[in-house]
A and B are shown apart, each in its own frame.
Chain A
Amino acid sequence: MARTEAVALRREATAAAWWRINATALLFMGPALLLVLVFFLAPVVITFTMSLTDLATSTGLSNWQWIGLENFARIFRSQFWLTILGNTVVYVAVVLAFNVLVGLGVALLTMHMEPKAGGVFRALWLLPRISPSVVYALLWVWAAASPPFGMLNYIVAPFGLEQRFWLQSDPWLIVILINGFVGASFGMLIFTSAIKAIPEDLFRAARVDGASALQIVRRITLPLIKWPILFVLVYQTMSLFASYEYIYLTTNGGPGLYATETWSLWAFHTALSNYYGNLEFAYGAAMSAILVLMGLAISIVLLRVFRFGQLVAEPRVEVE
């Protein structure tokens, strides 16, 4: 009996100590935790739950039934799921490469320009990001219209290239460019601020030692902005994985058989966009649930590969 009481007392003491240590942290974290629960975790739970039903416009909220994993089986019965998955991988990989390389290139180039000119140049590159999405997408749609219309056709004509309906003949080119320019401006902002944060002494010392511009970039700039590059890579990967708005507004997943349809657009089309009004919420939720699982898997891989723990550790400067 006495032993039981002692154990209980020890437990109480441990709990009290835990609260003493963590109460303040919980107080500060509480609101954020609540937001995460309500706006991040709850939608995921709802999506997974909904994916096990047949909820659609034709059932309403009053007439739905549990159907187990039928929605998931239906996804894999479609002959296009692999095509759409492939599209998603290509879209994320190519646009990501464009975003990071072009963003980095613009940041490096503008940092080597006269400051005012560099500022103007960067401001121009920001235009796609600060333009409303629909306006920006429509500008592309009009620019890529079929001949004799479309600004792109006028641009390529002097080079002897055949005029064409770009959205139909080269849909991926348009999808990559439209997303790439928006994403590149994000990378450019992060990289520019990171480069500006590098102590000027390092560049001056390198120049005194006779380093060329290329050597300075390779030996000083790039190593010192390794973390911002990783941040942009990770952030943009996850962002692209779930984004579809520019594809929706330009090719809408076509032409023809899901040529540019990505997984998130497929889910959107199924759950929230149907020409004849019968929306399949649960089937779309099943697609979203798979998207969540894929996102989770990619997140874990990225966190491990890029050692995310170090990314959020104390700031530091690394010099080779």
Chain B
Amino acid sequence: MSKRTAESRVATDYRLSRRQFLIATGATIAAAACATPPAGQGAPTGGAPLGTVKLSAWTIGPDAPSYYRRDNLVAAADKLNAKLGSGTNVQVDATFESGGQWGDYLQKFTLAAEAKTSPDIILAGHENFAPWVGPGYIVPLDDLIAKYQSEGDVKDVIPTLWTAMKLKGKTYGIPQDTEARPMYYRKDLLAKMGWSKDMIERLPDAVKNGEFAWPDLVLWAKEAISKGLVEPGKGWYSRPSKGADIYMFYYQNGGEMQDNATAKLVITKDALQKHFQVHADAVLNDKIMTKTIYGMDAGKEWHPTVTDGKVLFYNAGTWTWKDWQATYKVAEQSLWDNVGFMLIPAAKRGGKPVTVSHPLAYAVTSNAKDKDLAFRLIANATTPDLNSKHSVTSAHLAVLTTQKDDPTYKQDKFLLATQYMLDYTKFIPNHPKFGIYDDVLYRFLGAVEQGQNTPAQAVDGAVKELQGQLGDELIVR
């Protein structure tokens, strides 16, 4: 039997009569009609599966003023379900994890990802995504962003924030919040040193315009100490522990952390030495900052001291504005009356001031069974109303251009007054070995502040150590 003959027989066996064809067609149309929900109830869109879909999400916390990191995902499920219609019901199991401890949180996710038990959605700092991309713990979102352009308000994310979400040209996160890290100052202490009310109120602009630079800040801190307004060592308090804030003084002096072309880590020797010098001068020479700042207990000592009005200048995040009210029971009006905020002054007059932001972002994990739905949930949590709730509650800045018009956001004068800082902001790099880089620089900073190394020695030591540890992943300039 030839091939042709066999095919002819199969075709003959399955030939339909006109009656059979009409019956089959009618039945198909009827079945399709029955499966389609009535107009108005909405059909599942974007190929969403029918029935109940459970999505899990981890967010860090509980972090007293930042509970909307979790709650916004839950609220977004309602928005998403309304769009999906009755055919699909998304249920969200969003949890706080690790009691706010970043190290534990990240480790827990890593282990869960390897065990294929990670949640569908993970919230993390943008730089945390870098080590997760190699083993594929999270997935790139570019296709999903393109596919669901009209979902939520992802299209309105402030453009500069996308920089922090990218690694090797691909986008791995949707910004959940961001912030700036201002230099706070005591208005009451400046007034006691003879500053007029107008001068005090104009200080942020003077910093912005480069009229008030770092040497001016040091000068006034020394003045406050010499006049007995603050104790020695309390002219300026920097961050007492590891964190992105440290790099503001490196950036202030022209430092670079990552090469745009190669994505390699960069160390700028001259800027690093100036960064170390700022701290050496503050602690050892000018004595405007206490030697005990390194490792000082933030909760028990740093915050109580600054909220008591005992320090003239102190840099911290925008979120601490709300934290001081919630945790340290400082009345908001008292803060407005006595505390001002400005960018980190430029290294020299006429220079550009700086701050650092550390956006947190939602990512879709490779373990997510329905990545489309996980992304759509995130997209629906990225709206002016939900993001503004988080911003206002926790003093985090807007991540959407449209938030400035949101009624909730518009009522918060602190956020409005600090939003401009994002125009001056820098980020820490997205690189899988950034942790090594950070550890070395932080230890040498401690050595400088403790007088174990001079700034020049610390630069030599840090560069040598970084070269030994990072090899060709480091560019020295």
Contact = CB atoms under 8 A, between A and B. Distances in A.
B258 to A, nearest CB: 14
Contacts of B433: 58, 278
Interface in A270-303: 272-280
Nearest to A261: B443
Contacts of A62: 135-136
Contacts of B135: 57-63
Contacts of A61: 114, 135
Interface string B449-463: 110110000000100
Interface in B257-276: none
A146 interface: yes
Contacts of A79: 461, 464-465, 468
Contacts of A255: 294-295, 446, 450
A286 to B, nearest CB: 13
Nearest to B115: A61
A197 interface: no
Contacts of B185: none
Given A57-B132, A63-B135, A279 B107 contact: yes
A115 B273 CA distance: 64
A77 B471 CA distance: 11
A305 B131 CA distance: 48
Contact of B450 (A74, A80, A251, A256): A256
Interface in A180-194: none
A251 B294 CA distance: 11
Contact of B439 (A74, A142, A274, A277): A274
A74 B467 CA distance: 10
Interface string B101-117: 01100110010011000
B58 to A, nearest CB: 13
> Considering residues B124, B436, B443, which has the most beta carbons from chain A within 10 angstroms of its beta carbon?
B443
Interface string B273-309: 0000000000000000011101111001100000000
Nearest to A147: B292
Nearest to B431: A278
Interface in A55-86: 56-63, 74, 77-80
A255 B128 CA distance: 26
Contacts of A256: 294, 443-444, 446-447, 449-450, 452-453
B103 A277 contact: yes
Interface string B421-437: 00000000000111110
A146 B292 contact: yes
Contacts of A306: none
Interface residues of B, number: 49
Contacts of A203: none
Given A80-B465, A256-B452, A277 B102 contact: yes
Given A255-B450, A275-B242, A278-B433, A168 B114 contact: no
B397 interface: no
A273 B103 contact: yes
A98 interface: no
Interface in A241-283: 251-252, 254-259, 269, 272-280
B323 interface: no
A19 interface: no
A149 interface: yes
A149 B292 contact: no
A100 B242 CA distance: 37
A136 interface: no
A187 to B, nearest CB: 31
A276 B432 CA distance: 9
B468 A277 contact: no
A257 B292 contact: no
A145 interface: yes
Interface string B128-140: 1011111111000
A277 B107 CA distance: 7
Contacts of A142: 300
A73 to B, nearest CB: 10
A84 to B, nearest CB: 12
B291 to A, nearest CB: 7
Contact of A278 (B294, B432, B444): B432
A167 interface: yes
B24 to A, nearest CB: 48
Interface string B291-331: 11011110011000000000000000000000000000000
Contact of A146 (B301, B432, B464): B301
Contacts of B125: 276
Contacts of A48: none
B102 to A, nearest CB: 7
B131 A57 contact: yes
B406 interface: no
Contacts of B106: 274, 276-277
Contacts of A278: 130-131, 432-436
> Considering residues A167, A255, A257, A276, which has the most beta carbons from chain B within 10 angstroms of its beta carbon?
A276
A26 B301 CA distance: 60
A186 B127 CA distance: 45
A58 B432 contact: yes
Nearest to B438: A276
Nearest to B290: A146
Contact of B301 (A58, A60, A145, A275): A145
B41 interface: no
B102 A78 contact: no
Contacts of B102: 275, 277
Interface of A: 56-63, 74, 77-80, 141-142, 145-146, 149, 165, 167-168, 251-252, 254-259, 269, 272-280
3 closest Cβ pairs, A-B complex: A60-B135, A277-B106, A58-B432
18 contacts: A56-B131, A57-B131, A58-B130, A58-B135, A58-B433, A60-B137, A78-B469, A80-B465, A145-B300, A145-B301, A146-B290, A149-B301, A165-B292, A276-B106, A277-B103, A277-B131, A278-B131, A280-B436
Given A275-B242, A277-B124, 7 more contacts: A79-B465, A257-B443, A257-B453, A274-B435, A275-B102, A275-B439, A278-B432
